């Protein structure tokens, strides 16, 4: 079982591990890349829960197959009640050990804006991946924006979540060339391959505490 890393760590070491919660809405390919990297012992973190706001998210089955507990907390009845919904998520995270003291949260294709309440509670403990080189092309359809703007390069960014849209401190980025004949689909595919590399890598440096945040700048330690 992935949820129990005791096959590689002693129980004392387990106590020192931080817990990871992953929030998804759909395909879950970034979540899968993260969980597989944990399984290969590349990230010292304990994935305790995957939560989806959509009951039919494909990622739920993948998480289950990888032995990670899943939960559906539907958001469709919470229009205009952002904090109320986020409190349900927070309570589920806490019940699974993902606390503001001992947890990290990865947004992995979670198609909801999270409230300042949630973000302040887990300050610098929520990460997101975005399919563009931020601060270029924040928000929806980032790959389409890059093509329409004639960008020669785009890529992806892992960043801390702050109260703006895709505006938090940048942790890692990867560059992808935009080719003359690229469509939104072909560019998205090549960017996604890089996402699957840098998201696990970013969580790994954070879990190993090899990172310093000063203002908006994230510095990697050796």
Active site residues: 130
Q: Which of 195, 200, 203, 206 binds ligand GRF (CB under 6 A)?
A: 195
**Residue with smaller CB distance to ligand GRF, 34 or 218:** 34
> How far, in whole angstroms, is CA 21 from its chain's centroid?
9
**Residue with smaller CB distance to ligand GRF, 26 or 47:** 26
The CA distance from 52 to 70, in Å, is 8
The vertex-80 CA angle with 128 and 104, nearest 5°, equals: 25
109 contacts ligand GRF (rule: CB under 6 A): yes
The one segment of 26-34, 61-69, 91-99, 145-153 that binds ligand GRF by CB under 6 A: 26-34
86 contacts ligand GRF (rule: CB under 6 A): no
The CA distance from 81 to 184, in Å, is 33
Cα separations in angstroms, 61 against 21, 29, 52, 66, 67 = 16, 12, 11, 9, 10
38 contacts ligand GRF (rule: CB under 6 A): no
198 contacts ligand GRF (rule: CB under 6 A): no
Q: Which of 131, 155, 168, 200 binds ligand GRF (CB under 6 A)?
A: 131
Are β-strands 153-160 and 126-130 bridged in parallel, bridged antiparallel, or unpaired? antiparallel
48 contacts ligand GRF (rule: CB under 6 A): no
21 contacts ligand GRF (rule: CB under 6 A): no
The vertex-127 CA angle with 123 and 133, nearest 5°, equals: 125
For residue 27, the minimal CB distance to ligand GRF (Å) is 4
The CA distance from 55 to 75, in Å, is 10
Q: Which of 29, 53, 75, 154 binds ligand GRF (CB under 6 A)?
A: 29
108 contacts ligand GRF (rule: CB under 6 A): yes
Measured torsion, CA atoms of residues 134, 196, 63, 43, in degrees rounded to the nearest 10: -100
Residues that bind ligand GRF (CB under 6 A): 24, 26-30, 108-109, 129-131, 192, 195
């Amino acid at each position: 079982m992935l949820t129990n890393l005791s096959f590689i760590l002693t129980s004392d070491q387990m106590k020192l591990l931080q817990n990871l919660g992953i929030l998804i809405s759909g395909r879950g390919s970034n979540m899968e890349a993260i969980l597989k990297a944990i399984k290969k012992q590349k990230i010292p973190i304990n994935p305790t829960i995957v939560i989806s706001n959509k009951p039919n998210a494909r990622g739920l089955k993948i998480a289950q197959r990888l032995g990670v507990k899943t939960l559906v907390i539907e958001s469709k009845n919470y229009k205009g009640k952002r904090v109320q919904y986020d409190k349900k998520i927070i309570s589920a995270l806490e019940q699974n050990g993902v606390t503001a003291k001992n947890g990290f949260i990865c947004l992995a294709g979670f198609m909801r804006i999270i409230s300042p309440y949630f973000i302040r509670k887990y300050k610098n403990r929520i990460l997101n991946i975005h399919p563009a080189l931020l601060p270029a092309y924040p928000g929806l359809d980032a790959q389409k924006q890059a093509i329409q703007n004639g960008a020669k390069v785009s890529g992806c960014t892992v960043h801390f979540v702050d109260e703006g849209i895709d505006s938090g401190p940048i942790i890692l980025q990867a560059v992808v060339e935009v080719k003359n004949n690229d469509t939104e689909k072909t560019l998205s595919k090549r960017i996604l391959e890089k996402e699957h590399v840098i998201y696990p890598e970013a969580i790994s440096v954070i879990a190993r505490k090899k990172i310093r945040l000063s203002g908006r700048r994230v510095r990697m330690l050796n």
